């Protein structure tokens, strides 16, 4: 019969495993959002360039530059979000490795499958984001 101390350790391990899976899923969704955002920015930039083709008046030049500035601000926000993801992902992956390899609270096969599924989702989202860039 497991002691109270062992039960609590196991409960903590399970909670850590669930948090790790949830964090991986969150990172995957954030990456997918970044992928969507950069795609929208590319379309917006194409729209702006097609809207202001050919010779322009000074007012049209100003409107064109204002639209480009709005697009650049959105891209800057996107770049900050990507930088944040790049900072937090390695630490998260280290945490996942630690949790999965914890001898005191080894994950059950279902949790291992969830971790693998989440890691594959992150990998797939990263690959798609690289293709969009």
Compare 133 and 66 and report the one with higher pLDDT: 66
For residue 109, is pLDDT > 60? yes
Query: Taking the CA of residue 4 as centre, how many other CA atoms within 13 Å lie in the half-sphere pointing to its CB?
Result: 0
Average pLDDT over residues 67-77: 96
Q: How far apart are the first and last CA of the chain?
A: 55
Compare 66 and 106 and report the one with higher pLDDT: 66
pTM of the model: 0.76
Predicted local distance difference test score (pLDDT) of residue 1: 57
Average pLDDT over residues 55-60: 93
Considering only CA atoms, which of 38, 19, 27 is closest in space to residue 125?
Answer: 27
Which run of H or of E encompasses 117? helix 109-132
Confidence class for position 71, pLDDT limits 50, 70, 90: very high
Structure tokens at 82: 């990507």
């Amino acid at each position: 019969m497991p002691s109270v101390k062992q039960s609590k350790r196991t409960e903590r391990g399970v909670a850590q495993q669930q948090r790790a899976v949830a964090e991986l899923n969150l990172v995957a969704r954030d990456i997918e959002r970044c992928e969507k955002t950069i795609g929208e920015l590319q379309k917006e930039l194409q729209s702006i360039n097609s809207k202001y083709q050919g010779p322009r008046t000074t007012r049209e030049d100003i409107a064109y530059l204002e639209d480009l500035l709005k697009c650049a601000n959105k891209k800057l926000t996107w770049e900050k979000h990507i930088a944040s993801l790049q900072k937090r992902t390695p630490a998260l992956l280290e945490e996942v490795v630690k949790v999965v390899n914890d001898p005191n609270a080894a994950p059950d096969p279902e949790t291992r499958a969830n971790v693998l599924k989440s890691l594959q989702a992150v990998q797939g989202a990263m690959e798609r984001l690289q293709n969009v860039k």
